[in-house]
Amino acid sequence: MFVQETVFTDGIAQLSYLLGDTDSGHAAVIDPRTDVEVYEQLARKHGLAITHIFETHIHADFVSGSRSLAERVGRAQIYLSGDHADYQFDGQPVADGETFDFGSFQLTARHTPGHTPEHMTFEIAESGHHDTPWAVFTGDSLFVGSAGRPDLLGEGQTAQLAEALYHTLYGYFLKLDDFVTVFPGHGAGSACGAAIGDRLQSTIGYERRTNPFLSYPDLESFRQFVVTDAPPVPWHYPQLKKINAAGPDIMDRLPTIPALPPDDFRRVAREPGVHVLDTRSMLAFGGGHVPGAINIAGRSELSAWAGQMLDLDQRLLLVVEREDDLDRIERLLVRTGHGCFAGYLSGGMEAWEIAGLPLETLEQIPVQRLRELQISDGDLTILDVRAPDEWASGHIPGSKHHFVADMRDRINGLDKSARYATYCASGYRASIAASLMKARGFSDVSNVPGSWGAWTAAGFPSEQPEGATA
C-alpha cells in the first residue's frame, strides 16, 4: 500500500515528504528539515524503512537534514540534485530521467532549473504506469500561485536563471496533464517565492488557470515580472546555501545549552561575540528585560527572523518565558543555522529581578494612544518597519519606512536622539526593530502592539505612496 506523509515546518513554511510502500517496506524522504526525528517516527508508524533521501536543490532558507537523517536511520542513501551543483559531501548524483522503484510506485527525476541551476522535480507514478505521473514534488520550482525566485545566486546569474525558469515552467510543467497534483517545497510565508498561496497543494490545471507566473507568453515579459516582483533576499540565504553545499553538520541531538544563574549570565553577556536573545512576548519584554537584549519572540517566525537578524557565528544567550520552552526554542533556532549557544538565564527574568540586576523597559503604545500622539505630538516619528510591498499597499499617514531587515548591520538615516514608535503588521517585527534600536543607543523608542492590524481594525486613516496601487 502506498503511504504519503507531509511535514509542514511552520515559521519557514517548508514542506517535506515521506513516501513509502508498506508491501516492499521501503520509504523515501524528500527535502528533510534540520531536526529529523519526525521522519523516523512517521516511518515507524507505517512499518517502513527509510532507504532513500532526495534533495531537490541546495536550500537557502533552512539547514538540510539529509546527512543527519541518513546517520540516524543507518541505511539510507542520499541522492543529490544532479551534476549541476557543487555539493561537497558524499551523495549519489541524480540524472534527469532517472527512475527509482519502490514497489507500488516509482519516482522519476526531472531537471527543472531556474530557482537554482541544479534543481530537480520528482514525478510519482504507479508501478506499470511510469509515463503517466499523478503528482509532482516540485521543490522550489513551482509553488501554489507562484514560482521559485531566480535571484538568490546574485545579479550575475539572475538573467540566465530567469530564462531557465521560464523554460521549466512553460516547457515542462505546462505540458503535464491538468489532473497532476502539485506538492511544493514551500507554502505561504516563505521568501523563496513571491506571494506563495495558502494551500499546501494544487493541480497543474488549477495553476495553469490562476498562477500569474504561468500567464506570460514571452520570455522578456516573464523575466521582467519575476525579477521585479521578488521580495528582498533575506540576509541568511547565501550563508545557508554555503552550509548546505558543504554538508551540514550531523545533528544526533540538540546542542547543549548550559543554565546560567543571573550573575554568570551577566558576566557571559559582556564577552565578545555574545548576544542576548529574549524570546518572550513583546509585552513581557516591554515590561522589563536584560539591557541590550534583542526581542525575537518564540513563535514559529523565530526561525526566519533569527536567521535574518543574527550572525551564524554569534554565541547566543537565551531568555525564555518558561524553561520548558527551551527545547522548542532551540529547534526553531537550529533550523536556520544557529547552533552556538552560550547559555540561558536560569530562573528567567524573575531570578534576574530578585538578584537586583539592572532592568530596561520598552514602552508599548496602543494604537489609540498612537493616534492621539500623531495628532498632537509633532516630535514623534512613526516608523513603519514592514517589507517594501507592505508599505506600498498602505501605511499610517506621515510615517517613515525603514524595513527591519535593513537594520541588521547598521541603522542609517535615523537620529538617535529623536522619538520613535515602531509598527509592523502585528507588533512582532516592530518589537525586533525597537529592541535593536535601543540596543544601538536610540534614547526614546516605543513599540506598537497590534500595529497595522490594530490600526486598521480601529478605523484609523491610511495612505499609500504616490503612484502606488493596492
pLDDT in tens, 302-331: 999 999 999 999 999 999 999 999 999 999
The model's pLDDT over 11-66, given as tens digits with 9 standing for 90+, comes to: 999 999 999 999 999 999 999 999 999 999 999 999 999 999 999 999 999 999 99
| Residue 7 phi, psi (nearest 5) | -110, 115
| Residue 255 phi, psi (nearest 5) | -60, 150
pTM: 0.92
Half-sphere exposure of 137 (CA within 13 A, CB side): 26
The model's pLDDT over 369-398, given as tens digits with 9 standing for 90+, comes to: 999 999 998 899 999 999 998 999 999 999
Give the SS3 label for residue 111. strand
Nearest to 304 by CA among 364, 377, 232, 367: 232
Nearest to 197 by CA among 208, 205, 186: 186
Give 406-413's long-range contacts (Cβ < 8 A, gap of 24+).
407/309, 407/433, 407/436, 407/437, 408/235, 408/308, 408/309, 411/436, 411/437, 411/440, 411/442
Q: Give me the residues paired with residue 181 across strands.
A: 135, 203
Distance between CA atoms of residues 145 and 212, nearest Å: 7
The mean pLDDT of the chain is 94
Lookup result for grid cell 521549466: 168
Residues 106-129 have a mean pLDDT of 95
Half-sphere exposure of 163 (CA within 13 A, CB side): 4
Residue 150 amino acid letter: P
Domains of the chain are 2-246 (3.60.15.10), 259-355 (3.40.250.10), 363-458 (3.40.250.10)
Residues 166-186 have a mean pLDDT of 97
Q: Mention every residue, 6+ apart, whose C-beta is less than 8 A from residue 460.
A: 367, 371, 396
Residues 249-264 have a mean pLDDT of 93
| Residue 200 phi, psi (nearest 5) | -90, -5
Distance between CA atoms of residues 461 and 10, nearest Å: 33
Lookup result for grid cell 553577556: 269
Asked whether residue 470 carries a pLDDT value surpassing 50, the answer given is no
Residue 241 amino acid letter: K
What is the maximal distance between C-alpha atoms in the chain? 74
**pLDDT band of 128, cuts 50, 70, 90:** confident
Cα angle, residue 390 at apex, residues 375 and 63 outer, rounded to 5°: 135
DSSP track, 18-42: EEEETTTTEEEEES--SS-HHHHHH
- Asked if residue 334 lies in contact with residue 255, where contact means CB atoms within 8 angstroms, the answer is yes
What pLDDT does 229 receive?
Answer: 65
Asked whether residue 465 carries a pLDDT value surpassing 90, the answer given is no
What pLDDT does 384 receive?
Answer: 98
- Asked if residue 411 lies in contact with residue 338, where contact means CB atoms within 8 angstroms, the answer is no
Half-sphere exposure of 363 (CA within 13 A, CB side): 13
Asked whether residue 408 carries a pLDDT value surpassing 70, the answer given is yes
What torsion, rounded to 10 degrees, do the Cα atoms 191, 192, 198, 200 define? Answer: -140
**pLDDT band of 8, cuts 50, 70, 90:** very high
Half-sphere exposure of 155 (CA within 13 A, CB side): 1
